Amino acid sequence: MTALSFRLVLVCRLALLGALLCTLTGTLAACSDPPPPKVGDACSSLSDCLGGTNLVCDEGACAVIGCDSAAECPGESTCVDSICGPAECATGDDCADGAVCWSGWCVEDGCLDKSACDRGQVCLGTPPMCTAPPEQCTSDRQCPTGETCLVDRRRCTPQCTDDADCPSFNYCLEGLCREPCRDDAECPGELSCVDDRCTELPDCSDAPACSGLRPYRDPLTCACVGCLANSDCDLTRQEFCTTDGQCLLCAEPGSSDEDCASRGQYYVDGCCTECLDDTHCPTSQAPYCERGRCVGVDGPDCIAQSDCADGLVCDRGACIEPPSYAACDTQGDCPQGEACYADGLCRAASEVCTDCPTPSRCVAEPGDQTGTCAGCTAHCDADGCPDGQVCFVTEGSAEGVCVDAELSGC
């Protein structure tokens, strides 16, 4: 080989990285295509047999293999027209938008399971496509999402019709029992996760804009509301957002309708607050809402200050002497007839035990629901109270509170 021929061979091999053959004819080197692979040629992967006629790599040698399904083809090959050949795709990412990868081939408008189909359709056929379910079923695969096949009757039926058909904490959606959702990604189709349930939201695009006192849009009803969460309310005033989208002041903690009705208020979301209409006053003893308070059939003694005689104030529907609002630490700091309440101010001693907020206590005989609210910040024993006060110990308590002697006999 001459020096020129050697240089040509070297350039040929380096430039084409061995993709073509480099042959020497006389003193000249030339690049040419390699011969196509043939049956029996050694191989380590499908790519070693590409270029041959219907060849795949099988057990280290290029071969022609007949097939009925992709499962019968070796390695990366798939079944094409009853002969194993190279696959067009490995995953859906290898296919154009709207196509799925099925048995190595991109199928336009195809499906892999019925979750990709519209409601009421199933994924069937070769290749599989979304279609109407058959009149009779032999497996769940032939039933729409949310239904199961009663094989003995060859009929599809929903797995559930309401939440009661599902395990605890699950709910029924489109015939399927589902666990609570955490976000929209866990919901099928266009459903959204609302209050731990996948929910179909209405189209609010044509609804009027929200502003003023109702600046927020309720996604479930499209209505304008005052709040969607507690953070939309004035938390410095202990306001909270009700389930119907209103910011209300949580006057006092509450446990039931009856608990709040005894205070002339209504119960909502763990709070006693002012009523807005009669529907907020469900108990028989106070069924009507008057100016924010639940009142009885006969009505309250007063609704506003103007309803009371001179020198009296309207407090919870009753005309009473105005409270002193004197600062207090114990019951002894308050004038006669008043109690030291939990906020550290003296007010009229209530005659209803449930009106005594912690740490005030109702001074009453055991089992009696009527008494007088007394402060309970000063604990005592029998000889530990100042002059004019006595130590009141409720049944079951290890220690008592000092109260004015005049208040101890209720």
CB-facing half-sphere around the CA of 292: CA atoms within 13 A: 11
Q: What is the reported pLDDT for 71?
A: 82
Rounded to whole angstroms, the Cα distance separating 57 from 74 reads 7
What is the Cα gyration radius of the chain? 42
Instruction: Select the more confidently predicted residue: 358 or 361.
Output: 361
Average pLDDT over residues 326-351: 68
Structure-token pair, residue 98: 């709207």
Q: What is the reported pLDDT for 393?
A: 65
Q: What's the gap between Cα 105 and its chain centre?
A: 39
Q: What is the reported pLDDT for 353?
A: 56
- Antiparallel, parallel or unpaired: β 372-374 and 346-348: unpaired
* Residue 328 falls in which region: left (phi positive, over 0), alpha (psi -120 to 50) or beta: beta
pLDDT greater than 50 at residue 5:
no
C-alpha distances in angstroms, 160 versus 116, 148, 167, 173, 347? 21, 10, 11, 8, 57
* Bridge partners, residue 156, by sequence: 149
Task: Spell 384-395 as b/e; 16+ CB within 10 A means b.
Answer: ebeeebbbbebe
Instruction: Select the more confidently predicted residue: 147 or 402.
Output: 147
pLDDT greater than 60 at residue 172:
yes
Q: What DSSP state is assigned to residue 91? A: S
Q: Are 106 and 94 in contact (CB under 8 A)?
A: yes
Which residues in 120-206 belong to E strands, given as ranges?
Answer: 122-124, 129-131, 147-150, 155-158, 171-173, 176-178, 192-194, 197-199
End-to-end Cα spacing for the chain: 127
Q: How confident is the model at residue 362 (pLDDT cuts 50, 70, 90)?
A: low
Closest CA to 409 of 365, 358, 350: 365
Q: How confident is the model at residue 4 (pLDDT cuts 50, 70, 90)?
A: very low
Tens digit of pLDDT for each residue in 228-281?
888 888 777 677 787 778 787 776 778 887 788 777 777 877 788 777 677 777
Average pLDDT over residues 145-169: 83
Rounded to whole angstroms, the Cα distance separating 191 from 179 reads 15
pLDDT greater than 50 at residue 9:
no
Q: What is the reported pLDDT for 404?
A: 61
Name the least confident of 10-14, 100-104, 224-228: 10-14
Rounded to whole angstroms, the Cα distance separating 351 from 386 reads 24
Structural domain spans, the chain = 41-87, 93-158
Q: What is the reported pLDDT for 6?
A: 45
Name the least confident of 85-99, 108-122, 184-198, 367-381: 367-381
Highest mean pLDDT among 65-74, 385-394, 400-409: 65-74
The chain-wide mean pLDDT, for the chain, equals: 75
- Where would I find the H helices in 182-290? 257-261
Q: Which helix (H) or strand (E) holds 3?
A: helix 3-16
Q: What is the reported pLDDT for 18?
A: 43
Q: What is the reported pLDDT for 351?
A: 55
pLDDT greater than 80 at residue 209:
yes
Q: What is the reported pLDDT for 291?
A: 61
Tens digit of pLDDT for each residue in 68-84?
888 888 877 888 778 88
Average pLDDT over residues 310-333: 71
* Bridge partners, residue 315, by sequence: 318
